[in-house]
Structure 1
Amino acid sequence: MFWFTQGLCFLPAFLVIWSSTTFIMSYLIALFRHDVDIILPYISDTIATPPESCIFGLMTFISACAGIATIYARYKYVEKLSEETRVVNAHLNKAALVIGMLSCLGMCIVATFQETIVTYAHDAGALLFFVCGITYTILQCFISYQAYPYGSSMNVIRARVIIATIATLGFFPTAICASYVNQTKLHRDPSDKDYPYQIASAVCEWTVAFSFICFFLTYIDDFKLFTLRVETECED
C-alpha cells in the first residue's frame, strides 16, 4: 500500500504540493513575461497582471478548498481524539477551526483583488491570511501539546513549534518594512530609498507564506490514522 493511500494523508500532501506550485508557477510566469524583477518580488507582484493573476486565482481557489478540507479534517480528528480522553479543550479546537477557515478566506481575497487595482481589499486579504494563518499554527501547537501522548509524537510537535515560530517572527518585519515601500511599483530600482525595505519585506513574506504551507506537512502522519465518512439520513 502506498503511503498516500493511508487514511486521509493525501489531503495535507496535496495541499502543500498544490499551494507551493501555485506560488512558484506564478513567479516563473511573471518572470518569463518580465512583469517583475528577478530578485525577490513580493508574492503580490507576481500576480498583479494577467495571465498569471488568472492562473493564480484559479489555483488559489483550489488551494483554499483543500485548506478548508484539511483544517476541518484536523478539527474532527482532534474532536474524536478527545471524546474519551478529554485532553484537548473543545473551545480551543473550535477556535482553531474558525481561524483556519478565515485564513483560507483571506487567501481567496488576495487572489481575487490585485494589489495594483484594489489595493485596500488586497492588503486586507493578505493581513487576514497571514494573521489568521499564523494564529492557527500557534493554536495547533497548543492543541498538540494538550493531546500528547495520544496525538502526534514529540518530534512532530517540536517541528510544529519551530515552523510556527519562524512564521511568527517573519511576520513582523514583513509588515513593518512594507509600510516604508511604495507597493504600486512592480519594477524597482536598487537606487530607490525604499529598496532595502522591499527586499527585507519580500524575503520575510515568502518565508511566512511557505512556513504556513509547510506546517501542513506535519499533519501527514496523523492523517494516516483516520478517515471521515458522510452519512445520509432520510426522513420518513
Structure 2
Amino acid sequence: MKTMKTENKNRKFVPGSKFSRDKFLNLNLEKFVLFVLLVFLLLQLSAKVNATKDSWQYTLSSGVHSFYAPIENLKWNNSGFVVSGEINRLLGQKQLFSAGLQLQHGQNNYQGDATSIQLLGQFLPVVFSKMELGIGTGAGYRFSGYNSSPLIWNGSGWENAKNYKGMVQIPLQLSAGYRSINISPLMVTPFVAYQMQALFGYNPDISPLPDSSLMFGFKFKFK
C-alpha cells in the first residue's frame, strides 16, 4: 500500500533532494498548455455569446489555502498563499446567476505548488438591497508538482516518482460581498469567499483529498 509522510507519522512520503531539470521543464510546459487552454476557451466563449459589456464580470482574489475540510480529525495547518483570477458571464435580468472560468495558483511546501483551471457556476442572491451572497460548484483540473524529484515508498523500498501530478477537482464555493461600489467606469464588488475543492486521484489511500481556501478579493465589471 502506498503511503506518504506528512505530519501524520503513519504516512511515508517525502520529496527527494535531487533536482531534475527535465521534469521541471515538463511541469512548466504543462502550465503553459493550461494557460493556452484557458485563453482558447475564453475566446470560444466570447465568440459564441453576443452580449453587452456589462454582462461580463472579472474577479481577482488572493488568500490562504490548506489541505483541510471542516470535519473530524482534519486541522488547518501547513497553509500556503493562493491567488485566483476569473471571468464570468452574468445571467438573467437581475444577474443572480453566473457561469465562467477560474484560474488559480497555490503554494504548498509539502504537497507542491499547484495550478488549476475550473468551470464554476454560481447562484448570487442579493439580500438587504446590497448584500450579495453566493454558492457555486463546477469541475476542473489541477497540476501539482515539486521542483525536485520525489521518492515514494513502494512497500519494500524507495523508488523515483514523477515530480508532477494531474488531478480532477470538484469545487464548492460560498461567498459574501457588497454589490456594488461605483468607481467610474467600473462597478466593484468586494467579497470574501470560502472554497473547498475535492481532489480525486491524489493518492490511493486519500481520495478525495480536500483543499480549502479562504479568499478576499474584488469583482468588477464595466458600466
TM-score under structure 2 length normalisation: 0.27
Q: Going by fraction, where is helix more abundant, 1 or 2?
A: 1
